[in-house]
Amino acid sequence: MRLIRLALERYGAFTDRTVTFRPDARLHVVLGANEAGKSTALAAVTDLLFGFEKTTRYAFLHDMPLLRLGAEVEAADGRRLAFRRRKGNTRTLIDAAETPLADDALAPFLGGISRTVFCRAFGLDAGSLRAGGREMVDVEGEVGASLFAAGSGLRGLTELQAALDAEAEGIFAPRQAKHRTFYQALERHETARKAIREKGLRAGDWRALNDEIAAAAQQLDALRAERERVATERARLERLKRARPIVAEIDALDHRIAADAGLAEADSAWIERLGAALERCRQAEAEATRADAALARARGEAEAVPVEPALILRAEEILAAFSGTKEFEKGGTDLPRIEGDAHKVALELERLRARIGAPDLAALEANQPTDAARARVDRLIRDGRTLAATEDQLARDAAAARAERDRLAREVEAAGATHDPTPLREALKPLAKLHERLAAHEALDTAIRRETALLRNQAARLSPPVADTAALARMPLPSADTIARYRSLLDGKRREQERAADRRDAARAQADATRTRLREREAGRPIATQERLESVRAARDTAFAPLRDALAAGRPTEPGTLAAYERALFEADRLADERATDAARVAAHAADLDRLAAEDAALAAAERVLAGIADEIAEGEAAWREAWQPAGLVPGPPAEMAAWLAETENLIEAEQRLAEQRIERDHLKARIEFARAPLADLFTRAGLDPDRDGDIGESLDRLEARVTTLASRWEANLETGGRLRAAAATAEKLEAALAETGSRRAAWQSDWAEALRPLGLPATAQLEEAEGALEAWRTVPDRLAERAALQRRAAGLRRDMEAFQTKAAVLVEALAPELADTPSIGAIRTLHARLVAAQAREARRAELDRLLEEAEAALRHAVGLRDAARADLTRQVADTMPDLAEAPTPAIAEVFGRLNAREMLRAERLRLRGGLAGAADGLSESEIRAGLDALPPEAVEAELARLAMEAEEQAERGQVIFADRDRAERRRAELEGGSGAELAAAERKAAEADLQAASRSWAVLRLAGLMLGQAVARHRAGQQDPLVARAGALFRALTGGAFSGLAQTYDEADTPKLAGQRVGGGLVGIEALSEGTRDQLYLALRLAYLEDYAGRAEPAPFIGDDLFSTFDEARTGYGLDALAEIGASVQPILFTHHRHVAEIARDRLGDAVDVLEL
């Protein structure tokens, strides 16, 4: 398909613009300057053929519904179609009359290509051209990838395939690694499987755990009932304790209120009104006193201010004169300056007259040149300088070009013959992967050393440590089930031991608390216990026996015997009396003794239980150590040894992986050593001495550096020849330009002589002379105008100053004759100062008179308020206390104070009774008073102390019971919450799901990479030979014969690679080509593909956008030739904003090129 006509009816900045392409042309060059619409025209071709996109950047001038493009196209078989395209969603193809065409009307002309294919394959710009060249380097010239990228316009296929393979390898590879997600999921699966085996729960342990929790709950319920009883009793005693001080305060207030019983009763509202009336009387008296003092002060201030009416009457004249003082002073300052400036301007005019050569100032003013004459001279000065600079620059450039030409000729002669390094580079290619093997061997060796040290450190950190990780697999270790069984046994016994120890400690604490209470009670006066009383009574009976015998026998008693009996009787009676009066203390002591006996028995039982559990634990630990004797290890606790066993399994697996890595490292080392012989041979061919025993990596680096140096010399020699030819052509062009500049100099000299006459200068005057005269003539009009303006200003200033002095003299004579000898400025300022002072006094006097009137009115108002307040106070007192109605105000105030104090006491009593109601918890005051009468304060304190001790004992028992239950419940919650085998089972299922997802992702990525590689291989196999041959011919044309065509080489993996073939027979790989030559190769491949496509289907036009912006003129010409060469089968259209590209096309192609300007 070919474009015959392109109509930009309403699109972008274009309106009704038509571009017609000549049908017989083999190349169309569309020339448009920057901002001329070249990018718009390029986008228009795409939108014309495939429709407007949903959003467009080219609707900034015309509304979207009005956008229109039109064209006439011709197919390869001669069919033509004229159509237009509108912006819309459907039926966008229309004819000239806006009649819709079929949506597939363009299909026969487009050959089935899509918008994306057209933009990538049939469109190319300088950036895409450069990127395509870099792409061929990235794939190392591989034939299939290079042909696929150049033909389809798709780039980055090799990187995409490598990225897919790398992502797949990050998921799975035959060699296990921790960073691969498949093996991470596999490790989690194994860990979960081991946890399921270790954390299984047995039914017997579960029942025992639930029974323990239920028993603790029953004990806590019983203890809760006891604590509620104690709390109720303590609340009652605390209530009495809180209420006692409140009741005492209420009684004290009742006593104080009764002390002032002689005072008459009065309503609280009346008392409040009386207080307000007293306050108003006091405020009115103070306000009347303040008003009287203010009146006297205002009268004195008003009489002290004098006034001057004479100055006030002529205030406007004084102010008008004062406002002119600044202008007068400014005129006196400006007049000498203006006169001096006028004198300076006159002197400058005189200097200008002398510079120009006029006889006088009148002649200077009359003979001024016109603006046109001055502008002409100014232009010729610029042209002359530009011409001189151009001549100088051309002379220097010509000399430099000749020097460069001679230097390059000497370099070519000195360099002599060089050799093509391509054979040596081709021989080096089979060793290209040696660097990768060296790096892989180094990385693997480092990893092995690191892993070995890590395994050694991990084994040493185990407890017990392992000296030889390789011997772990042979050790007769207990199984995980055995460890779990011992762990369950010993942990259960230790929990029983902890509970037994808690019960023992609680029993000991209770016994110690009881002994402490007994000691504290016995530390005071002795307690009249039943044992002491019985002992004293026995002593009394013993002392009475001799007296009874003497009385029975009628014998007289001895005084000592009678005294001993009396003492024993007194002691027995006293102790009995004490026991009766201190019954509560004695009873508490007896109860504590009974409690102590029971607590000691419970403590002994707890000690026996604890000792039995300790014996069972010792037996279990002995059996645990015996289970590890075959392995020769002293085990730690079962929980630690379970983790130890898991760690040892990981160590064994790591040791096996390490052995595989050592085998792989040795294999890499053998392959590296195999490369020594070919490397030594290449050293000899490159002119180097081979180092057969040295480091292979360093030897390879030396060889590659040598080949790079040889290639650089070869390319430099070729490049120098091209630069020599370009330098010779440049020197010839500069010589021609220098001759043309001489002709321009003669024409300028003629115009110069004629332009100097209006300035009065000879024709031989230099640029600097004419420039000086021109500058002087430019200044003359401004100086003349400035002199006239200064003279006018000086005359006006003198006139204004004389008028001011006359007006000032009249005012001074009328108002201040004593200032007649003072200068006008000073006199007017003195009058102004006097006027300001007089006006201030006048204003002050008016303000003081107003304040005096206000003070008199305020005094009358204050006296009225005072009398009214006293009358109101008299009425208030007469209502309730008539005998005080005429009393002085202080007496009434004293009675008010007593009444107010009594009301405050009553209010406080009412507040205390409200507080008592809150403290009594709903009981009445009488019930509270009855309770207080029944229990004295010391009895309340004693009972509270007893209840506190009982509550403390209950709290200690509750802590022990709660700790047992909490420990059991946490164990059960741990088992129920999934931290055991259930959670491990969930982890195993999650790991299985991750394994499935990783496997699926790996399969998708591997299939995508294989499909992409197969597509490239199929493209290489199907189009390799004919396409490469045609691309070689185009490459020869594009390089101007520097290369004879393209050839194929093969690397060590037999992969075909593209290479450029020199005219002399040498081959140059893609990576060795210069950047510009790679661009030419990519263009040759693209053009060859388009020609091949045109032979099989209807081709679209090839659109090039500034393709040659990075090419020099020679390469641009070769590129234009190549585009014209495919013009018979494909329509090439080149858009450019470089005019020299169009000129080169006309010079090289003549009538075969169609140049159009936008």
Please classify residue 845 by burial: count the beta carbons closer than 10 Å to its beta carbon, then call 0-12 exposed, 13-18 middle and 19+ buried. Answer: middle
Please classify residue 1099 by burial: count the beta carbons closer than 10 Å to its beta carbon, then call 0-12 exposed, 13-18 middle and 19+ buried. Answer: buried
Q: Give the per-residue pLDDT at 257.
A: 75
89 within domain boundaries: no
**Contact yes or no for 41/1158 (Cβ under 8 A):** yes
Q: Give the per-residue pLDDT at 161.
A: 64
Nearest Cα neighbor of 226 from 1074, 957, 775 is 957
Report the DSSP beta bridge partners of residue 1143: none
Q: Give the per-residue pLDDT at 589.
A: 67
Instruction: Please compute the mean of the pLDDT values over residues 879-904 and round it to a whole number.
Output: 74
Whether residues 624 and 541 fall in one domain:
yes
515 within domain boundaries: yes
Nearest Cα neighbor of 1036 from 1092, 1080, 1072, 1068 is 1080
Give the pLDDT band of residue 50 (cuts 50, 70, 90): confident
Q: Is the peptide bond before 464 cis (omega within 30 degrees of 0)?
A: yes
944 within domain boundaries: yes
Q: Which residue has the higher pLDDT, 715 or 755?
A: 755
Q: Give the per-residue pLDDT at 579.
A: 58
Q: Give the per-residue pLDDT at 719.
A: 65
CB neighbour burial string for 351-390, b if at least 16 within 10 angstroms, e if fewer: ebbeebebeebeebeeebbeeebbebbbebbeebeebeeb
Over the stretch 705-739, which tens digit does the pLDDT of each residue have?
Answer: 777 777 666 666 666 666 777 778 787 888 888 78
Whether residues 630 and 487 fall in one domain:
yes
Token pair belonging to 464: 């017990």
Whether residues 522 and 490 fall in one domain:
yes
Q: Which residue has the higher pLDDT, 566 or 439?
A: 439
Whether residues 506 and 455 fall in one domain:
no
Positive or negative torsion for Cα 236, 242, 243, 245:
positive
Instruction: Please compute the mean of the pLDDT values over residues 763-787 and round it to a whole number.
Output: 74
Give the pLDDT band of residue 153 (cuts 50, 70, 90): very low
Over the stretch 926-936, which tens digit does the pLDDT of each residue have?
Answer: 877 787 777 77
Report the DSSP beta bridge partners of residue 82: 72
**Contact yes or no for 238/983 (Cβ under 8 A):** no
Give the separation between CA 808 and CA 324, rounded to whole angstroms.
10
Instruction: Please compute the mean of the pLDDT values over residues 1047-1054 and round it to a whole number.
Output: 64
Over the stretch 968-1025, which tens digit does the pLDDT of each residue have?
Answer: 777 777 666 555 556 666 777 787 787 788 788 878 877 877 776 666 555 544 444 5
The residue assigned the tokens 């806006």 is 98
Give the separation between CA 1132 and CA 1152, rounded to whole angstroms.
12
Total residue count of the chain as it appears in this document: 1158
Q: Give the per-residue pLDDT at 1052.
A: 58
- Point out the least confidently predicted range of 133-137, 201-205, 889-893, 1150-1154: 201-205
Please classify residue 1086 by burial: count the beta carbons closer than 10 Å to its beta carbon, then call 0-12 exposed, 13-18 middle and 19+ buried. Answer: buried
- Point out the least confidently predicted range of 364-378, 604-618, 1122-1136: 364-378
Which of residues 604, 634, 664 is at a domain's end? Answer: 634
Report the DSSP beta bridge partners of residue 2: 74
Give the separation between CA 121 and CA 132, rounded to whole angstroms.
12
863 within domain boundaries: no
Report the percent of the chain where pLDDT is more than 90.
4
Over the stretch 512-558, which tens digit does the pLDDT of each residue have?
Answer: 888 887 777 666 666 666 676 678 778 877 877 777 777 677 677 77
Report the percent of the chain where pLDDT is more than 70.
84
Give the pLDDT band of residue 139 (cuts 50, 70, 90): low
Instruction: Please compute the mean of the pLDDT values over residues 581-590 and round it to a whole number.
Output: 60
Angle between helices 268-303 and 889-919 (to 10 degrees): 130
- Tell me: pLDDT of 106 over 80: yes
Longest dimension (CA), the chain: 190
**Contact yes or no for 878/243 (Cβ under 8 A):** no
Give the separation between CA 574 and CA 787, rounded to whole angstroms.
143
Please classify residue 1122 by burial: count the beta carbons closer than 10 Å to its beta carbon, then call 0-12 exposed, 13-18 middle and 19+ buried. Answer: buried
- Tell me: pLDDT of 141 over 50: no
Give the pLDDT band of residue 578 (cuts 50, 70, 90): low
510 within domain boundaries: yes
CB count within 10 Å of CB 1136 equals 21
Which of residues 976, 1004, 1035 is at a domain's end? Answer: 976
Whether residues 463 and 514 fall in one domain:
no
Give the separation between CA 187 and CA 175, rounded to whole angstroms.
14
Determine how β-strand 1132-1136 pairs with β-strand 1043-1050: unpaired
Whether residues 903 and 932 fall in one domain:
yes
Report the DSSP beta bridge partners of residue 30: 1135, 1156
Over the stretch 175-184, which tens digit does the pLDDT of each residue have?
Answer: 666 677 877 7
Report the DSSP beta bridge partners of residue 94: 84, 100
Question: What's this model's pTM, rounded to 2 decimal places?
Answer: 0.36
Give the separation between CA 589 and CA 517, rounded to whole angstroms.
9
497 within domain boundaries: yes
The phi, psi pair for 1105, rounded to 5°, reads -110, 100
**Contact yes or no for 842/307 (Cβ under 8 A):** yes
Q: Which residue has the higher pLDDT, 570 or 217?
A: 217
Over the stretch 283-338, which tens digit does the pLDDT of each residue have?
Answer: 888 888 888 888 888 888 877 777 777 777 777 877 777 787 777 777 777 778 88
Whether residues 612 and 670 fall in one domain:
no
Whether residues 530 and 621 fall in one domain:
yes
The phi, psi pair for 812, rounded to 5°, reads -65, -40
Q: Give the per-residue pLDDT at 588.
A: 63
- Tell me: pLDDT of 82 over 80: yes
Q: Give the per-residue pLDDT at 1064.
A: 65
Give the separation between CA 1079 and CA 1089, rounded to whole angstroms.
16
- Tell me: pLDDT of 424 over 50: yes
Give the separation between CA 221 and CA 34, rounded to whole angstroms.
96
Give the pLDDT band of residue 805 (cuts 50, 70, 90): confident
Q: Give the per-residue pLDDT at 937.
A: 67
Whether residues 583 and 537 fall in one domain:
yes
CB count within 10 Å of CB 899 equals 21
SS3 120: helix
Element (H, E) at 1059: strand 1056-1062
Q: Give the per-residue pLDDT at 136.
A: 66
Give the pLDDT band of residue 854 (cuts 50, 70, 90): confident
Q: Give the per-residue pLDDT at 43.
A: 83
Q: Which residues contact 905 (CB under 8 A, 6 or more apart)?
A: 253, 256, 257
730 within domain boundaries: no
Q: Which residue has the higher pLDDT, 231 or 368?
A: 231
Give the separation between CA 160 and CA 139, rounded to whole angstroms.
11
Nearest Cα neighbor of 1139 from 1158, 1123, 1119 is 1158
Over the stretch 64-75, which tens digit does the pLDDT of each residue have?
Answer: 888 999 999 998
**Contact yes or no for 356/776 (Cβ under 8 A):** yes
Instruction: Please compute the mean of the pLDDT values over residues 1071-1086 and round it to a whole number.
Output: 84
Instruction: Please compute the mean of the pLDDT values over residues 502-507 and round it to a whole number.
Output: 81
User: Which letter does DSSP use for residue 433 in this model?
Assistant: T
Q: Give the per-residue pLDDT at 939.
A: 67
- Tell me: pLDDT of 417 over 60: no
Average pLDDT for the chain: 77
Over the stretch 941-978, which tens digit does the pLDDT of each residue have?
Answer: 667 777 777 777 778 777 777 877 787 777 777 666 55
Q: Which residue has the higher pLDDT, 207 or 289?
A: 289
Over the stretch 232-262, which tens digit does the pLDDT of each residue have?
Answer: 877 877 877 787 788 888 888 778 777 776 6
Report the DSSP beta bridge partners of residue 1058: 1048
Instruction: Please compute the mean of the pLDDT values over residues 1109-1132 and round it to a whole number.
Output: 89
In total, how many domains does the chain have? Answer: 3
For the chain, first and last CA: distance in Å? 23
Q: How much helix, strand and coil, in percent to the nearest 5, is found in the chain?
A: 75, 5, 20
**Contact yes or no for 383/748 (Cβ under 8 A):** yes
Whether residues 914 and 952 fall in one domain:
yes
234 within domain boundaries: yes
Nearest Cα neighbor of 195 from 981, 992, 990, 989 is 981
- Tell me: pLDDT of 833 over 80: yes
Residue 600's domain spans which residues?
480-634
Token pair belonging to 53: 């996109």
Over the stretch 459-490, which tens digit does the pLDDT of each residue have?
Answer: 777 778 877 776 766 778 888 778 778 777 88
Give the separation between CA 899 and CA 274, rounded to whole angstroms.
10
Determine how β-strand 123-125 pairs with β-strand 1102-1105: parallel
Which of residues 921, 944, 976 is at a domain's end? Answer: 976
Whether residues 527 and 589 fall in one domain:
yes
CB count within 10 Å of CB 823 equals 11
Whether residues 629 and 646 fall in one domain:
no
Instruction: Please compute the mean of the pLDDT values over residues 1124-1145 and round it to a whole number.
Output: 90
Q: How far is CA 801 from the centre of its chain?
A: 73
